[in-house]
């Protein structure tokens, strides 16, 4: 029985010691907690302010980049307009050159065609004259048959 009594006494003593130690929250501990809470709130405010400043700086930089992109777009539009004008002038010049070449060929070939027609007419006249002579001269007739000009 004595051991049971000692056991119960130890059990009661062990269970009351942590409760007594946990309830020893003094005024200095409370003040310390309030100061710690104030410091944490101030730290959060400072952190939020730094984040806001960084976001404002990033927004300013994005606006600068956006302005630069607008400048690049304007410059690109100017370059493409210039290229369209250059290609238009180039192809217009090429069309003019082709037209000039075709016109020059026609004017250069026209006298040659006229001359060829004239030579063809003269050749026909010469053949007719030779056939008439061949009717009277057998040697000329043989020569024309040999070259396939007479049947």
For residues 28-42, average pLDDT: 92
- The two three-digit tokens of residue 26, written as one number: 């003094």
CA distances from 33 to 38, 40, 46, 77, 140 (A): 9, 10, 20, 65, 144
Model confidence over 40-99: pLDDT tens digits? 999 999 999 999 999 999 999 999 999 999 999 999 999 999 999 999 999 999 999 999
Pick the residue with more confidence: 73 or 2?
73
Question: What pTM was computed for the model?
Answer: 0.42
pLDDT of residue 134: 85
């Amino acid at each position: 029985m004595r051991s049971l009594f000692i056991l119960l006494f130890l059990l009661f003593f062990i269970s009351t010691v942590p409760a007594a130690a946990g309830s020893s929250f003094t005024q200095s501990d409370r003040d310390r907690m309030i100061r710690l809470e104030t410091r944490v709130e101030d730290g959060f405010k400072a952190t939020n302010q730094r984040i806001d400043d960084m976001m404002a700086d990033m927004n300013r930089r994005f606006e600068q980049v956006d302005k630069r992109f607008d400048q690049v777009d304007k410059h690109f539009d100017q370059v493409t307009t210039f290229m369209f004008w250059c290609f238009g002038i180039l192809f217009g010049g090429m069309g003019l050159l082709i037209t000039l070449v075709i016109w020059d060929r026609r004017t250069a070939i026209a006298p040659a065609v006229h001359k060829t027609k004239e030579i063809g007419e003269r050749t026909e006249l010469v053949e007719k004259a030779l056939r008439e002579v061949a009717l009277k001269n057998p040697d000329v007739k043989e020569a024309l048959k040999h070259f396939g000009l007479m049947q």
